[in-house]
Amino acid sequence: MRVLVTGAAGYIGSVVAELLLDAGHQVVALDDLRHGHAAAVDPRACFVRCDLLDAAGLAFVFRAHPVDAVAHLAAEALIAESVRDPGRFYRANAIGGLNLLDAMVASGVRRLVFSSTAAVYGEPEAVPIPEDAPKRPVNAYGASKLAFERALPWYRRAHDLCYVTLRYFNACGATSAHGEDHRPETHLIPALLTAAAGEGGPFALYGTDYDTPDGTCIRDYVHVADIARAHLLALERVERLGGRAYNLGNGAGYSNREVVAAVGRVVGRPIPVVAAARRPGDPARLVADAARARAELGWAPTRPALADMVADAWVWRRRHAGGYGG
């Protein structure tokens, strides 16, 4: 299969491309490099630089590089920033996504796996969260992703689009080739590893007054390679399962304080931490019910232990002290 991977220079997109290529597929790697890294693009892929807001450029990409399917991971994804600048997120995630769908339809490409997010749920009524839980996002990131999700059934009805939506929870870990390198880094585990390496001062623990056992947010962590494997499984089954959404998570939540302690155990020393105010748009608890993915995709996490995920990220961090630019 020849697959266009959007966001292929980003954290998860680079691993999706890596696993597709390892499985014998061909990959057209698309990214605008606004947030991604050219060095993260798998050298076996055909790289194309293009912004999803460039509709004419997208149309040219599909003409020049015919594909059988699309794995759509490109997005603006900083939650706090989405609260401050919602228009940027709607433009990138909703309008850019519609440009992609229109280019697919014009080129006769009917298979799509969409990388969505647990942020579409907002503050859940109960945890773990099933796929049919109410969608009440509390930030523009989740709302813009949900806007694109809601367009998909209409494209299915009008254009016979086959799609699968993957709502994953907190990605972490690394492969030997690809890891997490955001500028700025806002994700918990890589930020903790930076603090563990003695760079950038103590770690800021955002929010210690949530209604949780230790006052900090609870999140469900899933290894980036397991997320990537779900994309491969969905691409193989998209025509049979078209229109379905799947949560990707371990079904176990860890508080931010528990993650701080786990990172300290992996690196062999305590992490310097300072308490800070809550970030806007952060729900207290997000834990997945991933039973549907197990039953219909045949997917289950292969690296469910938090310590193993942290250890993989720490190995990559030590090998790439300066990230992809180091």
Q: For residues 95 and 40, give the distance between their C-alpha atoms in angstroms, rounded to a whole number.
A: 26
Among 287, 292, 308, 293, which Cα is nearest to 124's?
A: 287
DSSP 156-205: HHHH--EEEEEEE-EEE---SS-----SS--SHHHHHHHHHTT-SSSEEE
Other beta carbons less than 10 A from residue 63's beta carbon? 11
**Contact between 253 and 219 (Cβ < 8 Å):** yes
**Contact between 128 and 73 (Cβ < 8 Å):** no
Q: For residues 307 and 277, give the distance between their C-alpha atoms in angstroms, rounded to a whole number.
A: 27
Of 141, 163, 206, 254, the active-site residue reads 141
**Contact between 220 and 251 (Cβ < 8 Å):** yes
Buried b or exposed e, range 279-315, using 16+ CB within 10 angstroms: bebbbbbbbbbbebbeebbebebebbebeebbbbbbe
For 26, 43, 49, 93, 324, the CA distances from 46, given in Å and listed in that order, are: 8, 8, 10, 23, 19
Among 204, 214, 200, 224, which Cα is nearest to 301's?
A: 224
Catalytic residue flag (residue 121): no
As annotated, the active-site residues are 141
